[in-house]
Structure 1
Amino acid sequence: MANMNDAAKVNTAVIPVPKLEEDCYDWWERHEQVLREKDKINPEVVLIGDSITHFWGGDPQTEGIEGAKEAWRSVFASYRVLNLGFGWDRTQNVLWRIDHGELTGLNPTTVVILIGTNNTSETVNARANDPDEIAEGLRAICDRVHVHVPHAAIVIMAVLPREEKPDHPRRTLIAEINARYAELAKKRNYAFVDIGLKLLEADGTLTQQMASDFCHLTEQGYQLWADALRPLLPQR
């Protein structure tokens, strides 16, 4: 007879699943948009992530989301970019999307991955994951990226700070995740980019000038991300 705790031992962060949460857009339609448009875009740069990536801008566009246009243009104006950010996605959602064609047939030079913050959230649809599980989710994503676009350079973004105060438990959790992400990047010779300290005040406070809801970036926050990415893209 199966132990009741067996389900909790399964790392849900590495088991591909489609949409789990409701958000301000149609998850399934965005996936179909990607499949329709990705080959026409023929991206040089692919961004993979959740709402923080999704809401930055680029193609495919989502109606009602304005994005941070100036920050986007400042780094991506001369590149063909595919934005594979999907609001509320966890690592397991990204795995499903890659398995269902979002990278198939592409040949980007650079893939930027920012994922994991939603794996720290507990909902009725998915349990929260611990740092080791989340790092395994990232590793699985990188493995798939290698299969589909083996010549692309991979850039791992540290999970961005969340919550206003530095003593919030989620800050500690994010620090533990990022330590594992940095280790993975070092072992695999990926670029690892952590803009966390630049987003925070000297006392560790996250202000609404950088993240309007203490999670999602403002134009100013996106500009810091843009500035950090610029040296890692193919030079024109």
Structure 2
Amino acid sequence: MMKYLALFLGILSLPLSAETSLSTTAESRTQKWWMPRHQEKLEQKKVLGDVQLVFIGDSITHAWENKGKDVWEKEYAPYKALNLGYSADRTENALWRIENGEVDEISPKAIVIMIGTNNAGHRDEPSEQTALGIKAILDLLEKKQPEAKILLLGIFPRGATPEDPKRILTDGTNKIIETYADNKRIFYLNINNTFLEENGTLSRNVMKDLLHPNPDQYQVWADAIRPQLGQLLATKH
């Protein structure tokens, strides 16, 4: 009996594999607002009609609906854009949403993805594991939306300095996900220097909490991705 207990405990102590990683295992959330938002998005895409552009992400993307609303209306509403950003989401939550219909029955030309900061922020997840979660999202989108071009953004900077532990984690993830680009279907773009000082520090004038862009930074974001996103949106299916 003790032998089997020791074996069981030993199995529990093993590091998560790619197959069992939390970041790659689709998971819904229990917050009261989260599932209603999911249902709302399933309906919204029907109302929008010809959705040509989709954003997938966490609170930073979610905030296009408030802090970045005016910029969204000017830059992305003409493309009947769908905002699939959810505050506090990690890669596994985005996976669940994609698995459960959020990009079904639409034919976007481009999908913008920026997610992973909460994997680091919520559980200090190693960069490699967060990158696996992002890879799982890309793989699922290849099945769900094989014709869409994907603009994969580097996770935005966080923390005041390059030495911030969570900045180190997200920078590490960015170095890995950069390799996912094939420049045919998946395109990688890191615009972090747009937000940072020359010495790599992050000002509270840019991100008050050193994580979420201030309202005026949503135009900065749109300006930084416009050239490449414009090319992807101009591509014919």
Tell me which interval the TM-score lies in, with the shorter structure as reference length.
Answer: 0.7 to 0.9
Count how many residue pairs are aligned between Structure 1 and Structure 2: 221
Distance (Å, rounded) in 2 between the aligned partners of 1:205 and 1:71? 26
Distance (Å, rounded) in 2 between the aligned partners of 1:104 and 1:159? 25
**TM-score, length of structure 2 as denominator length:** 0.86
- Residue of 124, 141, 145 corresponding to 1:128: 124
Distance (Å, rounded) in 2 between the aligned partners of 1:192 and 1:48? 15
Secondary structure in structure 2 of the residue aligned to 1:219: coil
Q: CA deviation at 1:8?
A: 4.6
Q: CA deviation at 1:220?
A: 2.5
Asked if 1:153 corresponds to 2:165, the answer is: no
Distance (Å, rounded) in 2 between the aligned partners of 1:82 and 1:73? 12
What is the CA deviation profile of residues 163-198 of structure 1, one whole-angstrom value per residue up to 9, with x for unaligned ones? 112221222222111011111124765221111111
Asked if 1:11 corresponds to 2:40, the answer is: no
Secondary structure in structure 1 of the residue aligned to 2:111: strand
Secondary structure in structure 1 of the residue aligned to 2:64: coil
Which residue number in structure 2 is paired with residue 98 of structure 1? 98
Higher relative helix content: 2
Distance (Å, rounded) in 1 between the aligned partners of 2:22 and 2:184? 23
Distance (Å, rounded) in 1 between the aligned partners of 2:168 and 2:212? 18
Secondary structure in structure 1 of the residue aligned to 2:132: helix
Which residue number in structure 1 is paired with residue 4 of structure 2? none
- Residue of 207, 211, 214 corresponding to 1:211: 207
Q: CA deviation at 1:228?
A: 2.2
Which residue number in structure 2 is paired with residue 111 of structure 1? 111
Asked if 1:49 corresponds to 2:57, the answer is: yes
Secondary structure in structure 1 of the residue aligned to 2:82: strand
Q: Is the 8 A contact 2:150 2:186 kept in 1?
A: yes
**TM-score, length of structure 1 as denominator length:** 0.86
Q: CA deviation at 1:77?
A: 4.1
Secondary structure in structure 2 of the residue aligned to 1:230: helix
Over 3 Å counting, the alpha-carbon distance change for 1:137 and 1:188 in structure 2 is farther
What is the CA deviation profile of residues 192-218 of structure 1, one whole-angstrom value per residue up to 9, with x for unaligned ones? 111111101122221122112111111
Q: Is the 8 A contact 1:105 1:148 kept in 2?
A: no
CA RMSD of aligned residues (A): 2.0
Secondary structure in structure 1 of the residue aligned to 2:155: coil
Which residue number in structure 2 is paired with residue 84 of structure 1? 84
Which residue number in structure 2 is paired with residue 61 of structure 1? none
Unaligned runs of 5+ in 1: 58-65
Q: CA deviation at 1:156?
A: 0.2
Q: Which has the larger radius of gyration?
A: 2
Secondary structure in structure 2 of the residue aligned to 1:212: coil
Secondary structure in structure 1 of the residue aligned to 2:220: helix
Distance (Å, rounded) in 2 between the aligned partners of 1:46 and 1:204? 30
Which residue number in structure 1 is paired with residue 3 of structure 2? none
Unaligned runs of 5+ in 2: 1-6
Report 1:177-188 matches (<5 A). 177-186=173-182
Q: Is the 8 A contact 1:50 1:115 kept in 2?
A: yes
